[in-house]
Every structure is written in C-alpha cells, then in structure tokens.
Amino acid sequence: MPTAADLDSAIRDVPDFPKPGILFKDITPILGDPELFKSSLELLAKTAGNTKIDKVVGIDARGFIFAAGVAQILGAGFVPVRKKGKLPWTTHQMAYSLEYGEDVVEIHADAVKPGEKILLVDDLLATGGTAAAAIKLLKALDSDIVGVSFLIELTALKGRDVLGHSQIHSILSY
C-alpha cells in the first residue's frame, strides 16, 4: 500500500495559481492513480480510530471526492456541505469570512440527526474558514463531531487554530 510519503511525492506544486504568489498543491495526480487514491482514502478513514462513524461529511467541492470514499470504507453515510444555493431541500446555513468578503455554506436540515457520530473530511486545510463554518453547522444540528480530517494542511496559515476542535488530523503537512 502506498504511504503518506508516496502521496507527498505525487502532489504537484503549481506556482502562481490561482493568482500570483500562491503555490497551489495539485492533488489530481493522486486522484488519477488508483493505488494512491485508494491509499489516501484509507489513511483518511484511519483518522476515525475505532469509533463507529454514522456520517462522513464532505466540504464542497473536492472534499466530496474524499469524503464519499471514506464513507464507503467506514460503512457510513455521506453528507455534502455545499455553497449557498446548491442544495435542493430545506437547509441550515452558516456564513463565514473570507479575506475579500463573506460566503455561506449549507447542509440539508435532515442530513444529520442529533447525536450521530460525524467525521468531517476535506482535501485541504488553509485558513480554516470553510471548515469552521461546517463545524458550526454540525454543532447546530447537535451531532457528535469525532474528528476533522484533511489530506493536506498548510500549517503556516494556522487554519487549525480557528476550528475550535480537538481532533484535527492531516495526512500531509506543508
């Protein structure tokens, strides 16, 4: 089975994307390799430990790719947290700040039941704003968030500091 080091070597650095000064961590080489992709899902699933997870929640949009696969491995349901206006049913919303304004994420009002054990998964932790909003949404639904897991964490941006959760896991840190 490929290791975290193998995943690390597959990630492509793209300078100045999406704007000058940004070094983008491109995960598409991992997604395109079945063994690396499987390994990334298994490593993320292991962050649940021995806890029986009811739902794996993925954050729009690349978080869906990983969260759905992790849900399958764990025998759990998958729940999307999406940008405002993308879900077709009654939703709960949470606004969060961006460096240039504000955005909103939503979850179906009936997607998570009180007390359900949740693993929140996303591809990347940067400043933490979107993940923090997702955590607030899940807490508002009285779920039990047992872990928050990321494939990649950009540690210099200190996103974990704004999450307000003790069980934060990242497979790769830069």
The one catalytic residue among 99, 106, 116, 160: 99
Residue tagged active-site, from 35, 62, 116, 160: 62
Q: What are phi and psi of 93, to 5 degrees?
A: -125, 155
**102 CB-side CA count, 13 A:** 5
**Does the annotation mark 102 as catalytic?**
no
* CB-based contact 148:167 (threshold 8 Å): yes
Catalytic residue status for 35? no
Instruction: Write out the DSSP string of 105-140.
Output: EEEETTSS-TT-EEEEEEEEESS-HHHHHHHHHHHH
**Residues labelled as active-site residues:** 62, 99
